[in-house]
Structure 1
Amino acid sequence: MNVELRGIAAPGGWPAPGCRCASCSRLRAAGVRHGPVSVVVDGVAMEDCARTDVPGGFELHGPRGGRALVAAGPGTRPEPVSGVEYDAVLLDLAGSPEHLGYLRHVGAVAATTEVVAIHVDHRVPSPVELERRMAFWNRPHHGPHRTLLLGGARSGKSAEAELRLAACPEVLYVATGPVNDDDPGWTERVTAHRLRRPAWWRTVETTDLVSVLKDETGAVLVDGVGTWLAAVMDEAAAWEDPSLAQPRLDDLVSAWRRTEARVVAVSDEVGLALLPTTTSGRVFSDVLGGLNQRLAAESEEAALVVAGRVLELG
């Protein structure tokens, strides 16, 4: 099936008329405009191809026998026909990249399926950002591949980690933080993270990251390295003598280096905060900073997330 895009945008186009958001303003200033969705399939306009309606969109039947699943509009998630592996999917990836993960999860999208973003608009900051995300979503779901995402508190690093793996059919989410029902604020944050994750992701709460990295071969999200280190420091009684935790750190770095998984790990960038005023705080900052450096050195990708913006680190 040959899919030719002549327009990719939502019905109002991109930039949207009269919209003053940053996304639309950037395109307008650059003299760029993307027209509403217009697709030609095997030389025939999509409107002239046979189609069957499905919830959230339609199944398109190409003139050469191919089949495509198409989102009806922005915010829609077309349901696949059971047992069908599509030649192409045209989806609202700006709004629902996790729907691609769902389609892969149920077998509707295979490695040979062409994945196309349509109904694009100012929900994505720029065409360059869409291209960046598409590179993650079309990447092989297995490893080995290691990504370390650094950032301060509330920087958006966890959301970026989830975004990078959103289109994977299976993801193991490793939560290293403590379960503390006595802290309403912490409970609220944990609940928000759970609701943001796709329902088909697996979740495990553990500090045994070494076993996870040794055993898994698919997509793994670790959130995060800082809470893991705090637990290890407690378990090793290493707050007064950090060297007691060193074997655990060495084991983690070794497992990170040898893993066959596609792993994205979130960690705190210690250089963004004020110098801790307590001895334990300074110890933690020093150890975590050193661990971040070691993990980054063994990573194919590392990035810093600030205010939701991502700076790739060479």
Structure 2
Amino acid sequence: MELTLLGTGAPDGLPRPACPCAACATAVGGRARAATALLLDGTLLLDLTPGAVFAAARAGHSLTGVTQVLLTHPHDGPAVELPPGLPAAARIPDGRVLSLLGGHRVRAVPMDSPGTGYDVTSPEGERLLYLPPGGSPSGLADGSPHTYDMVVADVLGRPDALARLRGAGAIGPTTDIVAVHLDHDVPPGPELDRRLAAAGARAVPDGTTLVVGAFPIYGAPPDLPRRTLVLGGARSGKSVEAERRLEAFPEVVYVATGGTREGDPEWASRVGLHRDRRPGAWRTEETCDLVPLLEEDDGPALLIDCLSLWLTDAMDQVGAWDDAKWAADGERALRALVTELVAAVRATRRTVVAVSNEVGSGVVPATASGRRFRDELGRLNAAFAGECEHVLLVVAGQALVLRG
């Protein structure tokens, strides 16, 4: 089954008309995107957008062979004037199946928001799932598990849709995930590619033709790193970046190393903000005992936030704040705890995203214990990063790739 993406942008396109934002200002030339529309085998058009005829011509195709036009958006008719020669555009009621003359079979997939998704099976058996902007399936297309060869969806707007599909087995290791309905929330270029790769997805330029079911032949799925360390200063956005990297996972255990602090309303407010950001399906464990979690062979992805609080607890355990205890055996005991943690990270089979503070670039702490913590956190960060496939530094909300 051959798929040509006539457009890959949000309904208003990218750049948005008259929008002065930085993302729209840089979305020029090959980075500009028309509203998303898909042409399948030259006969099925999914979504009718302005300039579809010219977009097809630029991609080396014609719409003269189209026998069916289906809409995903929640309206009864086409958003633009129907080009001459095309059949009337329509939507299939949720759950209904349409068999086309060319042998394609199309099932309307119910969404959890207004709009319709389409599960398309080719005459040869390849399967594609196309979801509307802002949409996620409210259930499997036909009530029985199957793995799609390709999923075309609003990856950045609804990463939880990928999590739901992965959890149901509808997305597998070789499923080609193509991001569409791309808007100006994320700058184009490397930042867009990085965000999508974290979800196992990719973007392609308008006019690209892909062969559904041939993904292992012409490329490998984006490599999802098993271990990631996200560094950053205070309020840099490092926790948000770490959470974003796991939004498309069906299950996540959020390991909060800060625990609870009775009678501290400011700390309770911080914890509450974190909890409100997390998807409802994520589970929270408040613990600094990280090694047993890392040693489990099976289990959901782990998000550890954060290593600096783990180190604080470890230094409490060994009496590192007292100069005499530190000199006697505290330093040796702390080294043993760090070595044990790093070894567990090296051997873990679980997906891990850890957060830590990047310190030492500012004012030198006035106390010996403060300088000791700064030094030990620097050593811990370096050792932990050495075992990670992907290391990011977040500055002013911008993620810089240090490794991966």
TM-score, normalised relative to structure 1: 0.90
Correspondence for 1:52: 108
8 A contact 2:252–2:303 mirrored in 1: yes
Is the counterpart of residue 71 in structure 1 residue 70 in structure 2? no
Contact 1:72 1:78 in 2 (8 A): no
Shift of 1:310: 1.0
Q: Structure 2 matches for 1:123-134, cutoff 5 A? A: 123-134=185-196
Q: Which residue of 1 aligns with 2:334?
A: 245
SS of aligned partner of 2:178: strand
Residue range with higher mean Cα deviation, 208-217 or 153-162: 208-217
Matched AA of 1:85: H
How far has the Cα of 1:63 moved from its partner? 4.3
Give the CA deviation at 1:251.
0.8
Question: Does 1:85 pair with 2:146?
Answer: yes
Higher relative CO (Cα under 8 Å, sequence separation at least 6) belongs to: 1
Q: Residue 221 of structure 1: which of 303, 313, 322 is its match?
A: 303
> How far did 1:67 drift?
4.5
More helix by share: 1
Q: What per-residue deviation string (whole Å, max 9, x for no partner) do you get for residues 167-206 of structure 1?
A: 1222222111121242222212212222222222222111
Seen in structure 2, the aligned counterparts of structure 1 residues 126 and 205 have a Cα distance that, compared at 3 Å, is same
Cα offsets for 1:123-150 (capped at 9, x unmatched): 1111432221222211889998321111
| Match status 1:287 vs 2:286 | no
**Structure 2: distance between partners of 1:98 and 1:89:** 14
| Residue matched to 1:205 | 286
Is the contact made by 1:93 and 1:118 (CA closer than 8 Å) also made in structure 2?
yes
User: What per-residue deviation string (whole Å, max 9, x for no partner) do you get for residues 95-122 of structure 1?
Assistant: 1223211221233323343322111110
1:177 matched to 2:258? The reply is yes
Q: In the alignment, which residue of structure 1 is the partner of 2:268?
A: 187
TM-score, length of structure 2 as denominator length: 0.71
Cα gap change, 1:53 to 1:256, in 2 (>3 Å):
closer
Q: Contact 1:69–1:78 at 8 Å: present in 2 too?
A: no
Partners of 1:180 and 1:220 in 2: CA distance:
23
The aligned amino acid for 2:198 is: F
The residue that corresponds to 1:260 in the other structure is 349
Amino acid at match of 2:274: H
More divergent stretch after superposition (39-48 vs 292-301): 39-48
Cα distance 1:185–1:252, how it changes in 2: closer, same or farther (>3 A)?
same
Identical residues among aligned pairs (%): 43
Residue 43 and residue 125 in structure 1: after superposition, are their counterparts in 2 closer, same or farther (change >3 A)?
same
User: Aligned equivalents of 2:321 and 2:222: distance in 1?
Assistant: 38
CA shift digits 1:195-242 (9 cap, x unpaired): 222222222111111111111445221111000011111122221214
How far apart, in 1, do the equivalents of 2:130 and 2:138 lie?
Answer: 9
What is the total number of aligned residue pairs between the two structures?
Answer: 312
Contact 1:6–1:38 (CA under 8 A) maintained in structure 2 = yes
Take 1:224 and 1:213, find their aligned partners in 2: how far apart are those partners?
A: 15
Q: What is aligned with 2:171?
A: 109
Gaps of at least 5 residues in structure 2 are 47-67, 71-105, 202-220
Aligned residues of 1:9 and 1:34 also touching (Cα < 8 A): yes
Structure 2 equivalent of residue 61 of structure 1: 120
Distance between the aligned counterparts of 1:71 and 1:191, measured in 2? 32
Alpha-carbon distance between aligned partners in 1 of 2:8 and 2:315, rounded to the nearest angstrom: 51
Per mean C-alpha deviation after superposition, the further-off stretch among 260-269 and 126-135 is 126-135
SS in 1 for 2:185: coil
Please tell me the root mean square deviation across aligned C-alpha atoms, in Å.
2.5
Structure 2: which amino acid aligns with 1:250? T
Q: Give the Cα–Cα distance (whole angstroms) in 2 for the partners of residues 213 and 262 of structure 1.
A: 9
Q: Judge which range, 45-54 or 222-231, deviates more.
A: 45-54
2:5–2:37 Cα contact (<8 Å) kept = yes
Q: Is 1:145–2:226 an aligned residue pair?
A: yes
